DNA sequence: GCGGAAATCAAACAAGCGTTTCAATCGATT
DNA sequence: AATCGATTGAAACGCTTGTTTGATTTCCGC
C-alpha cells in the first residue's frame, strides 16, 4: 500500500499521489505544481516531463484515484437468496463507508466529489465507470424490494433519494455537524448510524418496514387533493 | 431589482454584485479582481479603495448575497390549522424553488453552496442566520407530523434526510442529469416534480401516506435482526 | 465660480504562477 | 571503459496575480 508513509519509488507514482492530495484539498487552480512537486520530493520540471502540463496531470490524478478506489472497494457480492432489505442495508453501509472513509484517507473521495460538484472532462468517465454501475446495483435492489411494481422513473427517484441522504453527510458534513448538538455529533457521523437510519427510512417509505410514526390516519387526504 | 440588466448606480454595489457572480462561478482563488472590476465597469483600484483587499471583498459579497436572499424569500407563514402534511409540501417546495431557482439567477445560491461545501469564515454566520432557522421550521413541521412521539435526535435525522434528498439535485445536478435518460430530464429537474416525490417519500416513511409498494410483508424481520 | 475632499484612472509594483531551458547526472548497452 | 538516451537539477522565462501609486477628474458646500 504505497500511500502516506512509504511512498512509491517510481517518481511518476509519487507525483500522482501528491497531486491527488493537493487537488483534493485545495482544488485545481489553487493547487500549485510547486507544492505538488515539493510534496512528491521531485523537481518542478518533473511534472512537465512526465505529464506535459498541469491540466493533464489533473486528469491523470483523477483517473488514478478513481482506479485505486475501484480496486480497493469491489462491488458487493451477495449470496443467492439474500433478502433484498439486507442488500439495501449492505449497499447503503458500504457506500457510506466509502464516502466517509472510516478506514482510508478520504482524499480520493474528496477529489472525486469535486468532480461531481463541478464537473470537468474527467467527470463523464467517472460517472460511466464508477457511479452508473453502482447506481444500477441500487436500482436492482430497489426493483427487488418493490416487486418490480414501479415504473423505472419512480425507482430512479427512490435511488436518488437514498443517494441524496448519504451524500449530504459527505458534501456538507461540516454544516451538519453545526446543526447537531455537540454531545451527539460522535454518534451522528458514524457510517453505521447513518446507514441504519437511511435504510430504515427508505424501507419504511417503500412499505417493507414499519413507518417512523403513525399519529392519526386521515391527514393523508389533505395532501392527496391539495386544491 | 438592480441585478443582471440595470445595474445599480452605486459602484460599491456594482462591485459586490459582480464579485458575487464571479466568486460563485469560479470560486475564491480562481476569480480575479480584474475580471470582477471589468464586469462591474470600474477600475481595478476600486476594489481596494472600497473593500481593502480581495478577501474582505469576498466576505462582504457572501454576506450581501445572503442578505439579499433572505429579503426576497421570507419565511413561510401558514394559516393556523394548515395540515402538517401540507406544510411539509410547502416547505420542501419553497426550498427547492430557492435552490434550483426557477425564477432568479442562481448565483447567490451557488455562492452559498460553496461555503457549505468548503466552509470559510463566512460559513458559521450563514448557518446561524440562514440555515438553522429554516431547519428549525422543518423540525417543527416534522414534530407536528409525528405527533411529537420521536426523540429530538430522530426528528433531526428525518430533517437531514429531507434536506439531503433536495440537496443532491442542486449540488450534483449535472451528475443526476447524466443518470437520467435524456428524454425524461426535463420532467426530472423541475422543483415541483422533485418536491412531490420528496414529500411523498417522506410522508410514507413517517407513516402519514401510503408506502410506495407493499410486495410481501415479512422481509422485515430479515433486517430487524441482521446477525 | 472656486476650493478641497472624494472618487476615478492609467500605470506600475513585487510576488507568485506554469512552463522552459540546458547543463549535470544516471544507467544500461556495447 | 566509453557511449548515448533517459532522467534530474537549478535557474530563469514570460505572464498573471493582488495591490499600490500618484496624477487627474468629479462632485458639492460656500
Mark which residues 164-183 of B lie under 8 Å from A by CB.
164-169, 171-172, 174-176, 178-180
B218 pLDDT band, cuts 50/70/90, is: very low
Is B5-66's fold the same as B74-223's? no
CA of B208, C1' of C28: distance in angstroms? 76
**The pLDDT of residue B221 is above 50:** no
State how far residue B8 is from chain A, nearest Cα, in angstroms. 30
**Dihedrals phi, psi of B220, to nearest 5 degrees:** -60, -50
**Dihedrals phi, psi of B225, to nearest 5 degrees:** -125, 85
Contact B105, B3 (CB under 8 A): yes
| Chain C positions with a protein C-beta closer than 7 Å | 7-12, 16-22
What pLDDT does A130 receive? 84
How many CA atoms, within 13 angstroms, populate the side-chain half-sphere of residue A97?
13
- What kind and span of H or E run contains A59? helix A54-72
Query: Cβ of A171 and B167 within 8 Å?
Result: yes
Distance CA B174, CA B183 (A): 15
CA of B38, C1' of D22: distance in angstroms? 22
Which residues of chain A are modeled with pLDDT < 50?
1-6, 217-227
Q: What percent of chain B has pLDDT over 70?
A: 88
B174 grid coordinates: 449535472
Q: What is the mean pLDDT of chain B?
A: 87
Q: List the single best residue of A215, A216, A218, A224 to mutate versus B (max B Cβ within 10 A).
A: A215
Centre a 10 Å sphere on the Cβ of residue B10 and count the other Cβ atoms it contains: 11
Burial A198-223 (b: 16+ CB within 10 A, else e): bbbbbbbbbbbbebbbebeeebeeeb
Mark which residues 102-131 of B lie under 8 Å from A by CB.
116-117, 119, 123-124, 127, 131
For the segment B167-204, what is each residue's pLDDT rounded down to a tens digit? Answer: 999 999 999 999 999 888 888 889 999 999 999 999 99
> Which nucleotide's C1' sits nearest to the alpha carbon of B57?
D18
Q: What residue ranges do the domains of chain B occupy?
A: 5-66, 74-223
Query: Cβ of B164 and A167 within 8 Å?
Result: yes
Query: Cβ of A83 and B219 within 8 Å?
Result: yes
Give the CA distances from residue A79 to residues A30, A82, A84, A141, in Å, rounded to whole numbers and listed in that order. Answer: 47, 6, 11, 13
Contacts for B180 with CB less than 8 Å, ≥ 6 apart: A156, B188
Q: What top-level class would CATH report for the domain A74-223?
A: mainly alpha
Chain A positions touching B30 (Cβ under 8 A) are 27, 29-30
Query: Cβ of A209 and B220 within 8 Å?
Result: yes
Q: Quote the pTM value.
A: 0.87
CA closest to A165 among chain B residues: B164
Query: Cβ of A146 and B176 within 8 Å?
Result: no
Query: Cβ of B213 and A146 within 8 Å?
Result: yes
CA of B142, C1' of D8: distance in angstroms? 64
Query: Cβ of B208 and A197 within 8 Å?
Result: no
What pLDDT does B16 receive? 97
3-state secondary structure of A168: helix
Question: What's the 3-state SS for B151-167?
Answer: CHHHHHHHHHHHHHHHH
Chain B positions touching A84 (Cβ under 8 A) are 219
Q: What percent of chain B has pLDDT over 90?
A: 64
- Return the minimum-mean-pLDDT range out of A146-150, B52-56, B105-109: B105-109
Mean pLDDT of B70-87: 86
Q: Does B73 touch chain A (CB under 8 A)?
A: no
Q: Which candidate, A9, A18, A6, places its Cα nearest to that of A44?
A: A18
The CATH number of the domain covering residues in A5-66: 1.10.10.60
For the segment B14-34, what is each residue's pLDDT rounded down to a tens digit? Answer: 999 999 999 999 999 999 999
The beta-carbon neighbor of A85 closest among B117, B124, B222 is: B222
Amino acid at each position: 500500500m504505497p500511500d502516506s508513509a512509504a511512498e512509491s519509488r517510481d517518481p511518476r507514482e509519487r507525483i500522482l499521489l501528491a497531486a491527488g492530495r493537493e487537488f483534493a484539498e485545495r482544488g485545481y487552480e489553487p493547487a500549485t505544481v510547486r507544492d505538488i512537486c515539493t510534496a512528491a520530493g521531485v523537481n518542478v520540471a518533473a511534472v512537465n516531463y512526465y505529464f506535459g502540463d498541469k491540466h493533464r496531470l489533473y486528469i491523470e490524478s483523477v483517473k488514478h484515484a478513481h482506479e485505486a478506489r475501484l480496486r480497493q472497494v469491489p462491488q458487493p457480492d451477495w449470496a443467492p437468496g439474500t433478502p433484498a432489505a439486507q442488500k439495501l442495508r449492505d449497499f447503503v453501509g458500504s457506500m457510506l463507508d466509502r464516502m466517509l472513509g472510516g478506514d482510508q484517507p478520504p482524499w480520493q473521495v474528496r477529489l472525486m466529489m469535486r468532480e461531481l460538484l463541478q464537473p470537468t472532462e474527467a467527470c463523464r468517465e467517472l460517472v460511466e465507470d464508477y457511479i452508473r454501475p453502482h447506481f444500477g446495483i441500487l436500482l436492482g435492489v430497489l426493483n427487488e424490494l418493490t416487486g418490480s411494481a414501479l415504473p423505472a422513473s419512480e425507482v430512479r427517484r427512490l435511488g436518488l433519494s437514498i443517494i441524496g441522504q448519504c451524500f449530504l453527510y459527505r458534501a456538507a458534513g461540516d454544516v451538519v455537524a453545526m446543526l447537531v448538538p455537540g454531545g451527539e455529533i460522535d454518534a451522528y457521523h458514524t457510517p453505521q448510524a447513518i446507514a441504519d437510519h437511511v435504510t430504515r427510512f427508505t424501507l419504511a417509505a417503500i412499505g417493507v418496514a414499519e413507518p417512523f410514526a403513525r399519529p392519526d390516519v386521515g391527514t393523508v387526504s389533505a395532501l392527496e387533493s391539495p386544491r
